[in-house]
Amino acid sequence: MHPLVVMDGASAPVPDDAEPAVPPQQEWAAAAEAGLAQRTAAAADEGEAADVVPVSKVQISPALLQSLIDAARAGFPNEACGIVAGDRPARDGGKATAFHALRNAAESPYRYLIDPEEQLRVTLAIDDAEEAVWGIFHSHVGSTAEPSATDVGLAQYPDALYLICSLAGEVPVVRAWSIRNGTVREVALSVG
Ligand SMILES: [Zn+2]
């Protein structure tokens, strides 16, 4: 079992979606763009910009899907967030096993911030169970279930999937994404 590294940016508010610009969010957006540029350049150097999670399809249980939707609704009108554990990382073909809903410390409809202490507690528990961080979840309350530019720029788990639940339409929509070195690819999510 590989030790899990807590995200360096865990204490940073993650701006999301379109919103009125205010200075702190501009700072984070700039940081995200800078990080994205760096990672894209690094990927180009390595010649593996397209080296995203090498699975094109994943399956989650109806109960797990429902727990994501429930968390999104519970967090409304703010974004919700959490971590999905799996028996192995999604990149290695792992299967999702459990969802850990976490508090959005940013308490915002436009961004999420996983509380660093909660993140540490959950990642240690996942590690203790000899499991892996399979997915990073958050909701979009007013936009589609696609990663925002900020989501891409601040993505820290290239081996995990980014799961987004949109509450913008009449029914919740959950989609899964691989974000690696600034490259985004949708991973088909089936429920069964
Ligand atoms: Zn987002």
Does pLDDT of 19 surpass 60? no
User: Residue 53: what pLDDT?
Assistant: 58
Task: Give the pLDDT mean for 13-32.
Answer: 52
The predicted model gives 28-53 an average pLDDT of: 50
Within-domain flag for 38: yes
- Closest to 102 measured CA to CA, from 113, 111, 110: 113
18 CA to centre of ligand 1 in angstroms:
10
Domain assignment present for residue 9? The answer is: no
Number of domains in the chain: 1
> How far does residue 72's CA lie from ligand 1's centre (Å)?
12
Residue 81 falls within a domain, yes or no?
yes
Residue type, 139: S
pLDDT digits (tens, 9 = 90+) for 162-174: 999 999 999 999 9
How many A from CA of 80 to the centre of ligand 1?
A: 10
In angstroms, what is the span from residue 113 Cα to ligand 1's centroid? 11
> Residue 168 is which amino acid?
A
Residues 127/89, Cβ–Cβ less than 8 Å: no
Average pLDDT over residues 109-124: 94
How many angstroms is it from 155 CA to the middle of ligand 1?
A: 10
56 pLDDT tier (thresholds 50, 70, 90): confident
Task: Decide if 117 is inside a domain.
Answer: yes
CB-based contact 58:189 (threshold 8 Å): yes
Which alpha helices (H) appear in the chain, and where do they start and end? 23-46, 62-75, 116-128, 149-153
CA angle 87, 48, 7 (to 5 degrees): 50
| Domain that includes residue 96, residue range | 14-191
44 C-alpha to ligand 1 centroid (Å): 25
Distance between Cα 137 and ligand 1 center (Å): 9
pLDDT of residue 35: 52
The answer as to whether 91 is a domain residue is: yes
Q: Is residue 107 part of a domain?
A: yes
Distance 85 CA to ligand 1 centre (A): 19
| Domain contains 85 | yes
Q: Is pLDDT above 70 for 20?
A: no
Above 70 in pLDDT, residue 36?
Answer: no
- Whole-angstrom Cα distance, residue 154 to residue 32? 5
Average pLDDT, whole number, for the chain? 82
| 28 found inside a domain | yes
Assign residue 182 a region (left: φ > 0; alpha: ψ between -120 and 50; beta: otherwise).
left
- pLDDT-derived band of residue 51, with 50, 70 and 90 as boundaries? low
Cα(126) to ligand 1 centroid in Å equals 23
If 0-12 CB within 10 Å is exposed, 13-18 middle and 19+ buried, where does residue 189 land? middle
Domain containing 184 — which CATH number?
3.40.140.10
Q: How remote is the CA of residue 139 from the centroid of ligand 1, in Å? A: 7
Number of H helices, E strands in the chain: 4, 9
C-alpha dist (Å) from residue 117 to 72, 97, 131: 21, 22, 19
Q: How confident is the model at residue 154 (pLDDT cuts 50, 70, 90)?
A: confident
> What is the structure's pLDDT at 30?
55
Q: Is the pLDDT of residue 22 over 50?
A: no
Confirm if 181 and 39 have CB atoms less than 8 A apart: yes
